[in-house]
Amino acid sequence: AHLDRIGAVDERVHAFLHVDGDGALAAAADVDAKRVAGEPLGPLAGVPIAVKDVLATKGVPTTAGSKILEGWRPPYDATIVRRLREAGLIVLGKTNMDEFAMGSSTEYSAYGPTRNPWDLDRIPGGSGGGSAAAVAGYEAPLAIGTDTGGSIRQPGAVTGTVGAKPTYGGTSRYGLIAFSSSLDTPGPCARTVEDAALLHAVIGGHDPRDSTSIPAPVPPVVEAARQGASGDLSGVRVGLVRQFSGEGAEPGVLAAYREAVDALVKLGAEVIEVSCPHFEYALPAYYLIAPSEASSNLARYDGVRYGLRVGDDGAHSLEEVMSLTRDAGFGPEVKRRIILGTFALSSGYYDAYYGQAQKVRTLISRDFAASFEQVDVLVAPTTPFVAFPFGSRTGDPYQMYLADLFTIPSNLYGGPAISVPCGLSEGLPVGLQVMAPTMADDRMYRVGAALE
C-alpha cells in the first residue's frame, strides 16, 4: 500500500531519491513468513520506513544528496539500518536531503527539492525534508533523519510531524556519512510521539563501532511517551528560555508557542522562566564548528575512493583529477562550507575562530546545565518561521541559517530535543520544541506526548 501511495504522489512531492520496491517486498515477505511460523516479532515488525539518504544501505544507492556520490552502492549497512532490518521494519527507500545535510529547505539537494505536502509551493524543511515529507504525505509511517543543527526537528515542525533528536551518542553514527562528527545525531521522524519513541527504542543504544556511542541502555522512552499521553504533567517543571521566545520568530509562531505553554500549565506543569545568556553566540559558533568539521570530513571525496571521477583521461595529473571532481561534484553551499571550515582551521586563525567557537560551546553547555538545575525540560518554538516559499531564502545564506536559530543550542550542548506539532499559523504547521538533559530523553517524550 505504501509503495502504491509513493507511486501516486511522489512525482509531485519528491520525498524519495530511490525507492527499493523489490527489497521492500522481499523484506515484507520475510517478516510475514516469521509471523506465520509463530516466531516472536518486535513491536515494529512489518512497519514500513523511509531512510534519509545519508545512511549507508547495503547494495542500495546512497548519495547524501550529492552528485559526488552518484552511483555509489555501499558494501554495508549503517548500524541504524541494520537494527531496523533486524527488528523487522521494511525499508522502502532513501529520502531526499540538502547536499551532505547542509541546509534547511532541501533546495540544496543536487537532485531537486522536496515539496511540502501541506503546500507544494513551499519547502518541507531541511536538511531532512524528504524524510519529513514522506511521513507527512503518508508515503511512509516512519522515517529516519539526522540532526546536526536541526535537520530532524525543523522539517518536523514545518510539516506538522514529530521529529526527535536523541542525546548525542545515544544513536550510532556508524555508516552515517559524516557532516560534523561532534554534532551528527540520527533519530526518528513519525506522526505521533509514541511512534517516535518506539522507533527510538529500536535504533538507540550502544554501538561498539562508534567511538562516541554512549555505553548505556536507551532511556525508557516508550514508557515515558505512554505516561505523557495520560495528559498529567503535575510535578513537571518546564523552563521557558527568555532568549528563545522573543526576537526573530514570526508572530504566528510565537502565538502558537504561547498557546502550547498555556496548555502545559493546564496539564499541571509548573512553568519557570530561565536564561541562556550565551544564546546569541550559538548560531555563529555552530557556523564555525560545523563547517570546520565538514571541511575535514569531506576531504575523502577525492575522485578516487567513491562515486564520481572527472578528468581521468590520461591528460590530467592526480591533483587535477581531484580538483576537477570536487569542482563538478560539490554544490555551492557545500563549497562555501569547505572554504569557511578550511579557513577557520588554518594555522594562525585556528585560535581566533575554531578555538573561540569551542569556548562558546562550553559556555552554552554551562547555560543548559544551570537551567536543568531548576527545571526538568526546556521549551521553545522549534523554528522561527513556518514553511517558506521556494527561493525565498536561497539568495542570502544567513537567511537560511536562521531557520535553525532555536535548534542549534541543544546540538552544541548534546542533549535530546523533540519537535511536536502545536497548532497552525497562516494555515501552516508550527512545532513546539522540548529539550531535556543528556540521557534524559524520556522526559521530552513524556512532555511531548502530553501535548498531543
Instruction: Yes or no: say if 55 and 144 are a contact pair by the CB < 8 Å rule.
Output: yes
**Closest distance between ligand GLN and the C-beta of residue 285, in Å?**
12
Active site residue 105: no
Instruction: Yes or no: say if 200 and 220 are a contact pair by the CB < 8 Å rule.
Output: no
Active site residue 266: no
Q: Pick from 97, 113, 188, 115: which is nearest to 158 by CA?
A: 115
With respect to ligand GLN, which residue has the nearer C-beta, 71 or 389?
A: 389
With respect to ligand GLN, which residue has the nearer C-beta, 170 or 423?
A: 170
**Closest distance between ligand GLN and the C-beta of residue 10, in Å?**
22
**Closest distance between ligand GLN and the C-beta of residue 272, in Å?**
29
Of all helices (H) and strands (E), which one includes residue 144? strand 142-147
**Closest distance between ligand GLN and the C-beta of residue 357, in Å?**
14
Burial (0-12, 13-18, 19+ Cβ within 10 Å), 328: middle
Return d(Cα 177, Cα 180) in angstroms, integer: 10
Q: Which of 52, 105, 165, 245 is catalytic?
A: 52
In our burial notation (b when 16+ CB lie closer than 10 A, e otherwise), range 376-385 reads bbbbbbbbbb
- Establish how many alpha carbons lie within 13 A of residue 380's alpha carbon, considering only the half-sphere containing its beta carbon: 31
Return d(Cα 3, Cα 433) in angstroms, integer: 32
Q: Which of 105, 127, 131, 180 is catalytic?
A: 127
Interface with ligand GLN by CB under 6 A: which residues? 101-104, 127, 147-151, 179, 290, 404
With respect to ligand GLN, which residue has the nearer C-beta, 64 or 276?
A: 64
With respect to ligand GLN, which residue has the nearer C-beta, 6 or 403?
A: 403
Instruction: Yes or no: say if 431 and 190 are a contact pair by the CB < 8 Å rule.
Output: no
Instruction: Yes or no: say if 171 and 204 are a contact pair by the CB < 8 Å rule.
Output: yes
List, as own/partner pairs, every contact residues 27-32 make where C-beta atoms lie below 8 angstroms and the sequence separation is at least 24, other chains included. 27/85, 27/90, 27/91, 28/90, 31/88, 31/90
**How many whole angstroms from its chain centre is CA 392?**
22
**Closest distance between ligand GLN and the C-beta of residue 139, in Å?**
21
With respect to ligand GLN, which residue has the nearer C-beta, 207 or 404?
A: 404
With respect to ligand GLN, which residue has the nearer C-beta, 106 or 245?
A: 106
Q: Which of 104, 109, 151, 419 is catalytic?
A: 151
Q: At what angle do helices 282-297 and 332-345 cross, to 10 degrees?
A: 100
**Closest distance between ligand GLN and the C-beta of residue 109, in Å?**
12
Cell (9 digits) for 156: 518536523
Active site residue 151: yes
Catalytic site positions: 52, 127, 151
